[in-house]
């Protein structure tokens, strides 16, 4: 639920690293990384996420409690952890859980180009097994298609560098990640079921 709600990378959720894993820097949350706030009389949960691929820069992911049914239960779970790691396991363990939970499910990867040995190689649309990264893809797609997020909102919410796509100052990226107020009203909409 947390990985989905964050549109997070798995290393932004888990707090441990397998001894054989040389690529993961776990940046998982601790109990205090969830707090309550309000916006226009709506109660909001704000999660602090330590963004991977950005040296752990903090970003705030905010969710309105009255519209997002998972927001409050996830917040309450964080509160049970006090100052401890919320998810004290590694990405391999989480992958095994997701493999079992999503067995037989797939998701579509659109056409793209891959650079290999200096050459652009087209890769056709194909299906992949639904696993952890699919949660990030699914949430980002929902934020754009259902909630009307634009590139600015998506960068703020999901931790992507806005300066890369919008050709703006990279200094701006540091502050965008904190501004949940820029998108929260778009989430004041009943969830699709």
Residue 187 has pLDDT above 60, yes or no: yes
Question: Is the per-residue pLDDT at 148 higher than 80?
Answer: yes
- In the predicted structure, residue 49 carries a pLDDT above the cut 90: yes
Helical spans, DSSP H, in the chain = 2-6, 71-79, 91-101, 132-145, 151-158, 162-166, 170-176
Residue 10 burial class via C-beta count within 10 angstroms: exposed 0-12, middle 13-18, buried 19 and up:
buried
Chain centroid to CA 146: 17
The pLDDT value given to residue 162: 72
CA distance 65 to 6: 15
pLDDT in the model for residue 134: 94
Q: Kindly indicate the confidence band of residue 191, based on its pLDDT and cuts at 50, 70 and 90.
A: confident
- Structure confidence by residue, pLDDT tens digits, 90-119: 999 999 999 999 999 999 999 999 899 999
SS percent in the chain: helix, strand, coil, step 5: 35, 25, 40
- If you average pLDDT over every residue of the chain, what do you get? 90
Task: Give 160's pLDDT tier (boundaries 50, 70, 90).
Answer: confident
| Token code pair at residue 10 | 């798995």
pLDDT over 60 at 185, yes or no: yes
- With cut-offs at 50, 70 and 90, classify the pLDDT of residue 56: confident
What pTM was estimated for this model as a whole? 0.86
Is 51:123 a contact under the CB 8 Å cutoff?
no
Whole-number percent of the chain with pLDDT over 90: 79
Q: Is the pLDDT of residue 171 over 90?
A: no
At 173, list the tokens. Answer: 């990226």
């Amino acid at each position: 639920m947390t990985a989905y709600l964050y549109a997070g990378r798995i290393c932004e959720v888990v707090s441990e690293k397998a001894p054989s894993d040389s690529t993961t820097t776990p940046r998982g949350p601790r109990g205090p990384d969830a707090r309550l706030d309000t916006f226009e009389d709506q109660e909001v949960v704000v999660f602090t996420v330590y963004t991977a691929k950005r040296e752990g820069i903090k970003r705030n992911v905010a969710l309105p409690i009255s519209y997002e049914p998972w927001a409050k239960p996830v917040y309450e779970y964080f509160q049970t952890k006090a100052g401890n790691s919320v998810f004290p396991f590694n990405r391999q363990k989480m992958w095994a859980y997701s493999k079992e939970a999503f067995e037989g499910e797939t998701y579509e990867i659109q056409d793209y180009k891959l650079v290999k040995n200096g050459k652009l190689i087209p890769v056709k649309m194909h299906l992949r097994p639904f696993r952890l990264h699919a949660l990030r893809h699914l949430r980002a797609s929902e934020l754009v298609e259902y909630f009307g997020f634009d590139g600015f909102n998506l960068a703020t919410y999901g931790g992507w560098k806005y300066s890369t796509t919008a050709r703006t100052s990279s200094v701006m990226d540091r502050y965008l990640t904190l501004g949940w107020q820029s998108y929260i009203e778009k989430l004041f909409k009943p969830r699709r079921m």
